[in-house]
Amino acid sequence: MKPYFNDITQAGYHQIQQEILQCQAQRPARIKALQVARALGDLSENADYSAAKRDLRHLESRLRYLEKQLRYAKIVTPTDNDQIEIGKDVVLEFLDDHEQETYHLVGLPEADLPNYKITLASPLGRALKQQRPGAIVTVTAPAGDYQVKIIDVFLS
């Protein structure tokens, strides 16, 4: 079976690499905390040991997740045209209230709605995919359908 690769920006790939380095730097301290807690004695009633073991397990799990994200990542370089794709910014006008917002299109592992980073897998991203400035698209979202007009698309 052919593996599935997630499209990601170069910045997103670098961000995951940095988080891996941070987790790896925390690992020796977590192991040391586990050793210290284990030395306290009875493991069945040792809350420090249970907490240290849980913290190390969470860190190891996060490391495995991040490494898998990198292993199945495909860095996408956006083209220099006005078509919507990963790695570009898009200025949208929401036609219900005429508010304008600028979103950065990113790969799935780097989506961050509070920072206006959306993925093409989101309802808004799916509606925008392969569109150009001037187009009015209907977004089908869980809360209901709405329309947006694409004002501009540019490389950031």
List residues bridging with 146 in a β-sheet. 139
- Is 1 a domain residue? no
Please compute the mean of the pLDDT values over residues 65-94 and round it to a whole number. 92
How far apart are the C-alpha atoms of 142 and 11, rounded to whole Å? 30
Task: Kindly indicate the confidence band of residue 1, based on its pLDDT and cuts at 50, 70 and 90.
Answer: low
**Would you report the helix, strand and coil content of the chain in percent, each value rounded to 5?**
45, 30, 30
Q: In this structure, which amino acid lies at residue 87?
A: G
Q: Report the DSSP pairing between strands 73-75 and 6-8.
A: parallel
Instruction: Look at residue 45 in the predicted model and tell me its pLDDT.
Output: 73
- Is 57 a domain residue? yes
Distances (CA, A) of 54 to 18, 47, 82: 23, 10, 48
Report the CATH number that the domain containing residue 10 is assigned in CATH. Answer: 1.10.287.180
Q: Is 152's pLDDT higher than 90?
A: yes
- Is 134 a domain residue? yes
- Is 51 a domain residue? yes
Sheet with strand 136-141: strands edge to edge? 117-119, 99-106, 88-94, 144-155, 136-141
Report the CATH number that the domain containing residue 143 is assigned in CATH. Answer: 3.10.50.30
First vs last C-alpha separation in the chain: 36
Do 103 and 143 fall within a single domain? yes
Instruction: Look at residue 4 in the predicted model and tell me its pLDDT.
Output: 80
- Is 82 a domain residue? no
Do 68 and 113 fall within a single domain? no
Do 92 and 151 fall within a single domain? yes
Structure tokens at 18: 């940095």
Q: Are 140 and 123 in contact (CB under 8 A)?
A: yes
**Exposed/middle/buried for residue 41 (C-beta within 10 Å: 0-12, 13-18, 19+):** exposed
How far apart are the C-alpha atoms of 66 and 70, rounded to whole Å? 6
- Is 36 a domain residue? yes
pLDDT in tens, 82-139: 889 999 999 999 999 999 999 999 998 888 888 999 998 899 999 998 899 999 999 9
- Is 81 a domain residue? no
Do 63 and 97 fall within a single domain? no
Domain containing 39 equals 6-75
Please count the structural domains in the chain: 2
Instruction: Look at residue 59 in the predicted model and tell me its pLDDT.
Output: 96
Structure tokens at 55: 């913290």
pLDDT in tens, 21-51: 999 999 999 999 988 888 877 767 778 888 9
Instruction: Look at residue 74 in the predicted model and tell me its pLDDT.
Output: 92
